[in-house]
Structure 1
Amino acid sequence: ATAEEWSLVTNPSLLATSRGAADDESDEDEGAIEETADAIDALEQYWSYTKNFIANHDNGEVKAERMHRIYRMFSSPSAQGPSLETVTAFLMRKVKLGLLTYNNGFFRVVKENANKGVDR
């Protein structure tokens, strides 16, 4: 993606300095995106547990905040554990894959055989 940037400056040498700083920021953003993707992928190891936890929880639904607290318990004392944003992104990934549904802040497990046994 390309972007145009327009700047009005009285000292053109300052423009080059600000452009360099902007390039550094975009590199940092890319690194942060990669770290977030890695953190989301790291939660895949807990998918089976997560699915069963949600399915067996009260009313069969859980908020992302609850799963965040659970995942933080899994991490070692020296590690911080995943952020709430990472947990939410992981759960939303499962929604996009059709494994969970999301409604009013709650995640529910999609029943695997919901329509398979119906013959018409």
Structure 2
Amino acid sequence: MKNVLYVFFNDHTSLQIEGVVKKTEDTFLKVHELKEGNLPLFIELEHQQVNTLLELTKMYPYVLLYFNQEDDGILFKGAAFNCNESEMQFSITTQYKKILLLPLPISFKLNEVTHINLFV
């Protein structure tokens, strides 16, 4: 099922993205098993552990945008790129609980992202 996400920028503009939202309590995720086609994927981690291991094999080329829920909303905290084009295993660990995976290329500058809103 597709959901609508809005990514907001420093200049108060926004970009509407249709993507898939997945919620999980797992601390180890094979991300390619969660994706649906080439749609953007928004993962909400609902466990109380500090770290989550994201297995990103078969998930290239993608950019991962990290967000945290705070009093002001779901704020942008950072990004990582997965450009591993081989079938070799590739994984990362994160402390962030909300992650947006977008296929590359993207149409905006990462340093201009401020926050995200989700409409289910």
Larger Rg: 1
User: Which structure has more RCO (C-alpha within 8 Å, separation ≥ 6)?
Assistant: 2
Flag the structure with higher strand content: 2
TM-score normalised per structure 1:
0.22
Flag the structure with higher helix content: 1
TM-score normalised per structure 2:
0.22
